[in-house]
Structure formats: C-alpha cells, structure tokens
Amino acid sequence: MSGAPRSSLLVVSDLHLGSALRPPMTERSYQMIDKLDAELEQFLRYHLSNPAMTEEGDKLPWTLVFNGDTIDFLHMGLTVAEHIQLEAEEAMYGLSFVRRRSRWKLQEISKYHHRAFKALAHFIEAGNQIVFVVGNHDADLWFEKVRRDLRSLLARHTSRPKAAKRAIHFAPWFYYEEGRVYIEHGHRFDAYSTFPDPLSPVDSETGELKPTFGHWGLRYFCNPVPTLPIHDLEHWGAGDFIRWAWTKAGVGLVSLVAFYINFLWRYLKDTAEARLHNSQQGQGSGKGQSPRIKRRGRRLARFAKKAQIKLSRVRELDQLREAHVGASLGRFALAAHMDKILIVILSGIGLLVLTTVLAGWMLYLSLAIGAVFLSLTWVGLARLRPMQDPHPYMSEVAHKIGEITDVPLVVLGHTHKPVLERDGEVKWLNPGSWEHLPRSEGHAPNAPCTCSAKFGVVKGEGEAMEVGLYQWCSAKKSADLILNLQGDEQDVLGKLSELPEGG
C-alpha cells in the first residue's frame, strides 16, 4: 500500500456495522441500524462535497481507512434462517466461527445495513478508495472468500463493478505509507482480544477462527445469557458484574456460574496447543527452526514485501504484540481472577482456624499479620494480571511503532477512546468509535455538540502534513475540528476530557 498516491486520509475506527443484530430484534434494534446507516451516509456525502485540495486548487481523492471492527461479525448474533441448519452446539451458544457462518453473517449484515453499503459504493464510484484494516471483531476478513464477498456486495451497487473492486483494499495487519503513516487496529496489544498468533488467526485444520478470550467469552458465556449488556462490558468493573449477577439470584445465579465455568474450561482447553507450542519454543528443540516457525517467518516476509517495508522492521513490530490470556496457566488464572477466589477461600479457612486455636493478643496479632500478608499478595498479583484496558499503554506502543517504522503518525484504535497527542517526533491518533452512536441521544441544532462519533483526517505529507481529530455532528450534518497537529504547532479547539468517548 505504500506505493499508493498520497491522497488525503479519512480514518474511522470501530464502526461496528451489525452489532445491533442480536436477538431478540426489537423496534429499537431497527432504529439503531437506521440511525447508524443514516449518519454514515451523511458523513460520506459531506466529504464528497468537501474534498481535500492541493495548493494549486486541484481536488484530491479520499482514502477512507476503516481501522478495524468495521463489520461486527463477533457481536452479530442472529441465528434464525430457513437455509441454515444449526448444529446442536450452535443452538445453545450461537453460530460458530467457521468461514461459512462468516459469509452468511456478512450477507445478512449487508441486507440490514443496505443504506450503508450503497453509500460506501457511491463513495468509491466517485473516485475514492476504501481500506479495511482487520480488527478483532472483523477477524473473519482473514477468510479470502469473505473478503471477496465484501468486494462483490459493495461493487454491485456501482455501474463499474470491476473498477470498484480494485478500489477496495484489505490490510490484515496494518496499513502503511512510507514516511507518512502507520495504521493498525490495536487488538494485538490487548491480551483479552488478541489471537494466540495474530498473523495466523485461522485454524488450518478446522477452518475456524482460533480462540481469543473475547470470542470464546461472547459465544459460551454472553450468548447463553441474553440479559448481559455486552455493549457496556468494556466500562464495567468487578462491582458492576457483582451488582448485575446479584439480580440473577437462585437458579439463575447457578446457571450463570455454570456458563462461566464452561466458558473458562473451553477456552483453557482450546488454547492448550498454543501453550504447548510456546513451551517447546522456549525450551528449544536443538534441531533448528521448527516448520511452524519457518512458516511464520515466511508470513512476516510476505507482509514486508506487500507493504514495501524492511523485513527487520516487520519483525520488530511483531515483537511488540501482547501475549494472549491463555499463553500460560498462571496468566489464565490471573485473567479469570482465580487468585482472588483462592485468597477469599484461604482467608475464610485461616480465620476459622485462628479463631479456633488462638485467643487474646496472639489471635489479634495473627489476624493483623495475615491481613497484611493477604493484602500484599492481592496487590502483587493484581500487578501481574493482564491489563483489561490497554489504552494507557497505547501511547508507549505508538511511540515504539513510530521509531521502528520511521513515520510521524501512528494510528491505533480498539479502545474506543479518541486521542491525538505528540510524543517526541511521533504523533498518536485514536479516532474513537462509532459503536455507541446509534444509542446516543441527539441534541438541538443550536445546542453545544455532544455527538460521540469521532474520526481522523490526514492531509499533505512531510513538514506540511496536517493531522486532525474531528467530531461528526449528527444535528448539523457536518464535521467539527477538535484538535489539530501540524509541524511543531498544536491547536487545541476542545478538551477531549469534556467530550463523550462514544464507547
């Protein structure tokens, strides 16, 4: 992609088309679909009417980069279809993550979001390009036939389908323009969302996506518990889960625990091969590189060749990835908060033993020592726990990526939190998310804007390159600049802390 013309970039992250398609489908579900389609349609129409311009006054085409989680195969949970015969496990847990199910999901999403697909097709037909960077919710785009289907579904709304297909590109890992920008979704740095091997997320034997904590949790825990508000989970802490679980008292609570244990067991079992491979790789076979490592090396070489970037840089980028939750039994236990459960159980046993065999000052001293020890253990283990919110770490990752690739701008999404900041010579942009746009309340045309949809714009290159974080206003049907970085100057037009994050 580095050889592409230096068109102006529109960067939209975490659009989540299809996330509302979960049973039971209500009138509210259809309203959310219509609202997201209408906003995307207006957004594209606005930028067709307001193209970027060269200094000579010539129009520049847009390259619209969807930075991952564009089509929400993961949350899309419809299972009822006359031409689909559900397997027994699918009837209980929802559709599996095999290619044929991904293709069906894409067809259904295109039907419900037909306005969005037509708007994207019109945007392409006007001479612009679209790049789909793959995220964790649309990892199904690793399937070649799913990519082919998406091209066809968009191109059929144009008068020149072949030309339209050539304007649609996919970046399974990252989008890169030498000396200008590096764009990656960001789930590689989230232990709960990354695959055992992000460069090979499809099992060659089963043809199914490999397990991530998020995928397996959605299917084996969230799907059987329809009352769980999956769109709010990223904001929840332990207290929120406890308060929600408290409403599931009695038989419901027992079922809830059973589903959770079943999910943890399945994830632990299905990541066993990856743990075994990690163990063998750490010990070393003494016989040179294994076939698996050689295949992985060839994948890295293909990424480097396609992106026209040095292989040594691609290898460094690969090393930045976060280990997945199931990489070791200890890491899995911490991620599942088993340490907390064990500490609570041991505390209860210890309290019972101490109050039985001791009395007086010996009892109080023992209880004090035990409380300090357990508190230090609790805090120490918490520091080892995989981060549930990788956002605070993203700035450091962006800086490292910028140094490796020698680009002035690094774009990372995934966390849904809009950011534009500078760290030395490297700018980091997170365009935020559109996922909660269909659920947000609008505002009066003359009222202060509270719209949640953010996006990034990149114009020019070199010292003249300008990067802006914008807010799409649903009421005014226009884009407002929030923060702008150009050269060594920074213009702050709004405080991000005062703006809605949109997810």
Domain boundaries defined on the chain: 8-190+389-498, 338-384
Tens digits of residue pLDDT in 1-47: 444 447 899 999 999 999 999 888 889 999 999 999 999 999 999 99
Q: How far apart are CA 197 and CA 275, in angstroms?
A: 11
Nearest to 320 by CA among 400, 403, 395: 400
Model pLDDT, residue 222 = 87
- CA angle 306/311/312 to nearest 5° reads 155
192 contacts 322 by C-beta, under 8 angstroms = no
* CA 235 from centroid of its chain's CA atoms: 14
Q: What is the pLDDT of residue 500?
A: 40
pLDDT score of 249: 62
Helix (H, G, I), strand (E, B) or coil at 406: coil
State residue 161's pLDDT score: 94
CB atoms within 10 A of CB 490: 13
Which pLDDT does position 268 carry in this prediction? Answer: 94
pLDDT at 495: 42
pLDDT of residue 502: 40
Q: Is the pTM of this model over 0.85?
A: yes
pLDDT of residue 262: 93
Place of tokens 């005014």: 476
Long-range contacts of 298-306 (CB under 8 A, 24+ apart): 299/199, 299/200, 300/199, 303/173, 303/199, 306/1
CATH number of 8-190+389-498: 3.60.21.10
Instruction: With a cut of 50, list the residues of the chain below it in pLDDT.
Output: 1-5, 285-286, 493-503
In 70-143, alpha helices (H): 88-93, 99-112, 114-125
The pLDDT of residue 382 is 87
Which pLDDT score, from 0 to 100, does residue 253 have?
Answer: 78
